[in-house]
C-alpha cells in the first residue's frame, strides 16, 4: 500500500480527448483548457493529435491545426504544469520531438505496444538528452502476462524513462488485473509506476485506485472522461475519489469541474458536440447524499447565492436523511453569512 | 475469496430505471423488457415505481400506470425468473404487498435506511408468511460504520430475510469501502450477501466486483445502467466483466445487449429519451482489441453477414494488433463458413 505517496496527475483531454473531436482542438482551445487545468493543479498536461506527434495523416485522421502551433499556444500559458507530448515511434520521429521541445514541450510520453519496448530506445534516449521529463508508455498492457510486462518495462527504464506506465489502451482490464501488473512493476523497477485507463468496461476510475493501492503514483485522466473508445477516467471524478480516499495530490475539484463546465463544454458545443458533464450526480456521490436533495439544494443555492456544491457537502457532513429537507434552507442560509 | 460461488443477478431496469422515465413504463413495456431479461438469464427481475410499492404520490412522482397492472403484465410472461417488487416501509404497506403477491410477485426487497432496520420487521415477517423470497435492503450503507451495519443486517436476518444487501443508494462508495462492508456482513451473517451500486463516482461495476471478491453472491444492475442519480451498474457490462473473470452466473451477454438495443432503446425513444448504448466500446474492452478495429470489423460484418461481436472476440483471441487489419476479412470469412 502506498496510500500516502503523492499522486501525480496527468490530464490528457487535449491529446486522448482530441480523438473525440477528430483532432480539431485549435491553438486557442488548447491555450484556454491548458490554462484552466494548470489552475486546477494538474501536474502534466498532454496535448496534440490523439495518436501523438505527426499523427496527423490519412491513416490516423488529419488534425485541423499543426502540432507545433498548438504546442506553442500551450507553452505560452503554462508555467507550473508540465507541457507534455505523446510520441509513438513509427508515427512520430526524434526530429518531430526536437521541434516540439523547441516550441516548449517539457515532457514526452514515448509509447509502444506492450511487447515492443525495444523500439522506444532511441526516442527515450533522445528525449533525455533534450532534458525532457520522459515517460515510457506500454500500450495494450492487457495483452501480455506479468513476466513479459516486467521485462518490457525494465527495458524502458534502462533507456532512461523517468516513469513507466501500464497503459490499458482498450479498456480491457478490471481492478484486480491492474493491481497485479502494477505491483509487479513496482517490485521490479526503481522508477515510479503510472496507469492510464480507458472506461470500456466501466472500470477506469476503480482501475486507477487499484493501481495506486498497488504502488502507482502517476495516473491519467481527462475532463469529462474525453478520450478514445469509452473515454478515459474523468479528471473531476478522479479528484473527487482521491479526496475521498485522502490521497495527497495537487488537484482542485471545483476548479477542475469549472474548466469542464465553463471552458470545455462551450468548445465542444462550438464543434457540434453536445456532451453534458456528470457533475450533479458526481457531487451527490462525493457528498454522499441522496439524489432527491439535489433540486431543493439548487433552489436554496439560487435563493442564498451560495455554491450548490457547498450545500451538498454540508448535507453530507451532517448526515442528513430523507425527511430532513428543511435543513437545506438552514445550511444555505448559514453558508451565505460566512 | 468466493470466486466460484454462483452469482445471482437482479435486474432493476423496470424499478430503479423507472426513475429515468419518471415512472412511465407501461404494462406493455414491462412485459416486453421482463421477457427479454428472462431470456438473458436474469434471476430476479424487479419492477414498479422507483420508490417501490405505492410510491406513486405527490412526493415521489406519480406513476402513469398503477403498480398492479404492471405486476400482472410481468407475471404473465415470467416463468423462470423471479418477479420482484420493492417495498419501503412507510411508503408501501403490508396490504400493498399482499396485493402484489396476489398479482404474481414472487419476491420482495424490503428497504430501510441503513440505521433503521427495525422498521422492516413486520414487513419481512409478513413477506415470509406469504411465501415470498425476501431480501433485506440496507439503503445509504455508506452512512454508517461497519459495526452498526452488521448490527442492522443481523436484525433483518433475524426477521427472516433470505438475503441482506449493502445498498449504496447515493453511489458514494469506492471498491475498498464496499469490500470492507460486505466482508463484515459475510463474516457475521448466515444468509447470502448482496450489493446494489450506483455509478455517481464511476465505481459501480468495480464495486460489484469488490463485493463479489469479499463474498457477496447477489448483485444488482440495470440495462444501460438506467437508474436514479448516475444510474446503476449496466447489466450488459456486468455480464461481460463476470464472464471475463470466469464467475459462474446465468447471464447471457449477447441477449442482454439485444434487449437493450432492440427493446429498451425503442421504448425510451417513444418517451422522448434518446440514449445510446455503450455496446461498441464495451465490446472492444471485452474483446481486448483497439478501437481502430471497430470500423473495419463492422464493414466485414456486413459483407460476410456475421455478428460484429464475434469478429471482435476472435480478433481478441488471436491477439491481433495494429497493422494486421487484413486479418479481419479472414476472420469474418471464416466465421461465415462455420
Beta bridge partners of A194: A165, A218
Rounded Cα–Cα distance for residues B12 and B86 (Å): 10
Ordered by start, the domain boundaries in chain B are 6-270, 279-336
Contact B53, B87 (CB under 8 A): yes
Question: Residues of B at the annotated binding site for substrate?
Answer: 15-16, 169, 196, 290
Question: Which of A172, A234, A281 lies nearest to residue B229, judging by beta carbons?
Answer: A281
The CA distance from A234 to the nearest CA of chain B, in Å, is 9
**Which three cell numbers, joined as nine digits, stand for A18?**
482530441
Question: Residues of B at the annotated binding site for Mn(2+)?
Answer: 16, 196, 198
Q: In this complex, do A321 and B198 lie within 8 Å of one another by their Cβ atoms?
A: no
CB-hemisphere CA count at 13 Å for B180?
13
Furthest-apart CA pair in chain A: how many Å?
A: 65
Rounded Cα–Cα distance for residues B1 and A130 (Å): 49
Q: In this complex, do B201 and A282 lie within 8 Å of one another by their Cβ atoms?
A: yes
Q: Using an 8 Å CB-CB cutoff, list chain B residues near A198.
A: 285
Q: In this complex, do B285 and A198 lie within 8 Å of one another by their Cβ atoms?
A: yes
Rounded Cα–Cα distance for residues B157 and A305 (Å): 47
**Cβ neighbours around A326 below 10 Å, total:** 9
Q: In this complex, do B229 and A285 lie within 8 Å of one another by their Cβ atoms?
A: yes
> How long is chain B?
338
Q: Which residue of B has its CA nearest to A113?
A: B321
What ipTM was reported for this prediction?
A: 0.93
CB within 8 Å of B71: residues ≥ 6 apart: B47, B48, B83, B85, B100, B103, B104, B105
Q: In this complex, do A291 and B229 lie within 8 Å of one another by their Cβ atoms?
A: yes
Instruction: Find which of B145, B285, B316, B321 to mutate to test the A interface (most A CBs within 10 Å of its CB).
Output: B285
Q: In this complex, do A202 and B234 lie within 8 Å of one another by their Cβ atoms?
A: yes
> What number is the average pLDDT over the span B199-226?
98
Rounded Cα–Cα distance for residues A201 and B285 (Å): 6
Q: Which residue of B has its CA nearest to A291?
A: B229
Helix (H, G, I), strand (E, B) or coil at B175: helix
Q: Within A160-203, where are the H helices?
A: 175-188
Instruction: Find which of B213, B239, B288 to mutate to test the A interface (most A CBs within 10 Å of its CB).
Output: B288
Q: In this complex, do A288 and B170 lie within 8 Å of one another by their Cβ atoms?
A: yes
Q: Which residue of B has its CA nearest to A277?
A: B230
Write out chain A's pLDDT in tens, 338 residues.
Answer: 444 689 999 999 999 999 999 899 999 999 999 999 999 999 999 999 988 998 887 777 788 888 899 999 999 999 999 999 999 999 999 999 999 999 999 999 999 999 999 999 999 999 999 999 999 999 999 999 999 999 999 999 999 999 999 999 999 999 999 999 999 999 999 999 999 999 999 999 999 999 999 999 999 999 999 998 899 999 999 999 999 999 999 999 999 999 999 999 999 999 999 999 999 999 999 999 988 899 999 999 999 999 999 999 999 999 988 778 888 999 999 999 87
> What number is the average pLDDT over the span B205-224?
98
- Of B19, B113, B247, B279, which one is the catalytic site residue? B19
In percent, the amount of chain B with pLDDT more than 70 equals 99
Between A and B, how many CB-CB pairs are < 8 A? 161
Rounded Cα–Cα distance for residues B63 and B73 (Å): 15
Question: For chain B, where are the E strands, in sequence order?
Answer: 6-14, 44-47, 82-87, 107-113, 133-139, 163-167, 193-196, 218-221, 248-249
> What number is the average pLDDT over the span B269-291?
93
Q: In this complex, do A290 and B169 lie within 8 Å of one another by their Cβ atoms?
A: yes
Q: Using an 8 Å CB-CB cutoff, list chain A residues near B201.
A: 205, 237, 240-241, 244, 282, 285-286
The CA distance from B246 to the nearest CA of chain A, in Å, is 12
Rounded Cα–Cα distance for residues B41 and B38 (Å): 5
**Residue A227's Cα: distance from chain center in Å?**
10
Identical fold for domains B6-270 and B279-336, yes or no, is: no
Q: Which fold has domain A6-270?
A: TIM Barrel (3.20.20)
Residue B119: predicted pLDDT: 97
Residue B58: predicted pLDDT: 75
Q: In this complex, do A201 and B230 lie within 8 Å of one another by their Cβ atoms?
A: no
Q: Which residue of B has its CA nearest to A112?
A: B322
Question: Residues of B at the annotated binding site?
Answer: 15-16, 169, 196, 198, 290
Question: Residues of A at the annotated binding site for substrate?
Answer: 15-16, 169, 196, 290
For residue A173, CA distances in Å to A232, B42, B284 come to 13, 24, 11
The CA distance from A312 to the nearest CA of chain B, in Å, is 12
CB-hemisphere CA count at 13 Å for B31?
11
Task: For CA atoms A10, A15, A19, A21, give the dihedral sign.
Answer: positive
The string over B104-129, giving b where at least 16 C-beta atoms fall within 10 Å of a residue's C-beta and e elsewhere, is bbbbbbbbbbbbbbeebbebbbbbbe
Burial of A130 (0-12, 13-18, 19+ CB in 10 A): middle
Q: In this complex, do A174 and B245 lie within 8 Å of one another by their Cβ atoms?
A: yes
Q: Using an 8 Å CB-CB cutoff, list chain A residues near B213.
A: 176
Residue A2: predicted pLDDT: 45
Q: Which residue of A has its CA nearest to B277?
A: A230
**Which three cell numbers, joined as nine digits, stand for B315?**
480478433
Q: What is the pLDDT of residues B300-315, one digit of tens each?
A: 999 999 999 999 999 9
Q: Reply yes or no on whether A19 is catalytic.
A: yes
Residue A305: predicted pLDDT: 96
Helix (H, G, I), strand (E, B) or coil at A282: helix
Residue A31: predicted pLDDT: 98
The CA distance from A267 to the nearest CA of chain B, in Å, is 22
Q: Does domain A279-336 have CATH number 3.40.50.970?
A: no
Residue B324: predicted pLDDT: 81
The CA distance from B314 to the nearest CA of chain A, in Å, is 14
The CA distance from A104 to the nearest CA of chain B, in Å, is 30
Amino acid at each position: 500500500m502506498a496510500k500516502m505517496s503523492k499522486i501525480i496527475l496527468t490530464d490528457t483531454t487535449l491529446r486522448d480527448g482530441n480523438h473525440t473531436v477528430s483532432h480539431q482542438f485549435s491553438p486557442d482551445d488548447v491555450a484556454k483548457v491548458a490554462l484552466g487545468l494548470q489552475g486546477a493543479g494538474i501536474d502534466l498536461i498532454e496535448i496534440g493529435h490523439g495518436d501523438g506527434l505527426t499523427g496527423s495523416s490519412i491513416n490516423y485522421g488529419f488534425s485541423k491545426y499543426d502540432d507545433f502551433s498548438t504546442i506553442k499556444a500551450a507553452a505560452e500559458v503554462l508555467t507550473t504544469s508540465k507541457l507534455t507530448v505523446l510520441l509513438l515511434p513509427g508515427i512520430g520521429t526524434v526530429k518531430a520531438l526536437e521541434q516540439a521541445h523547441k516550441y516548449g514541450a517539457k515532457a514526452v510520453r514515448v509509447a509502444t505496444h506492450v511487447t515492443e519496448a525495444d523500439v522506444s530506445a532511441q526516442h527515450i534516449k533522445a528525449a533525455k538528452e533534450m532534458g525532457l521529463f520522459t515517460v515510457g508508455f506500454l500500450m495494450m498492457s492487457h495483452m501480455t502476462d506479468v513476466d513479459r510486462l516486467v521485462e518490457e518495462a525494465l527495458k524502458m527504464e534502462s533507456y532512461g524513462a523517468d516513469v513507466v506506465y501500464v497503459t490499458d489502451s482498450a479498456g480491457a482490464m478490471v481492478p484486480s488485473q491492474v493491481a497485479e501488473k502494477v505491483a509487479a512493476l513496482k517490485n521490479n523497477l526503481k522508477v515510479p509506476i503510472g496507469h492510464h485507463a480507458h472506461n470500456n468496461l466501466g472500470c477506469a476510475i476503480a482501475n486507477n485506485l487499484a493501481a495506486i493501492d498497488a504502488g502507482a503514483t502517476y495516473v491519467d485522466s481527462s475532463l469529462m472522461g474525453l478520450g478514445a473508445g469509452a473515454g478515459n477516467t474523468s479528471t473531476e471524478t478522479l479528484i473527487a475519489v482521491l479526496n475521498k480516499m485522502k490521497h495527497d495530490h495537487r488537484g482542485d475539484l471545483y476548479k477542475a469541474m469549472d474548466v469542464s463546465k465553463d471552458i470545455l463544454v462551450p468548445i465542444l458545443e462550438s464543434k457540434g458536440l453536445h456532451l453534458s458533464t456528470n457533475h450533479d450526480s458526481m457531487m451527490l456521490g462525493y457528498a454522499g447524499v441522496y439524489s432527491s436533495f439535489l433540486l431543493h439544494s439548487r433552489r436554496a443555492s439560487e435563493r442564498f447565492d451560495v455554491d450548490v456544491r457547498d450545500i451538498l457537502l454540508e448535507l453530507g457532513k451532517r448526515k442528513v436523511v430523507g425527511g430532513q429537507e428543511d435543513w437545506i434552507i438552514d445550511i444555505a442560509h448559514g453558508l451565505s453569512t460566512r
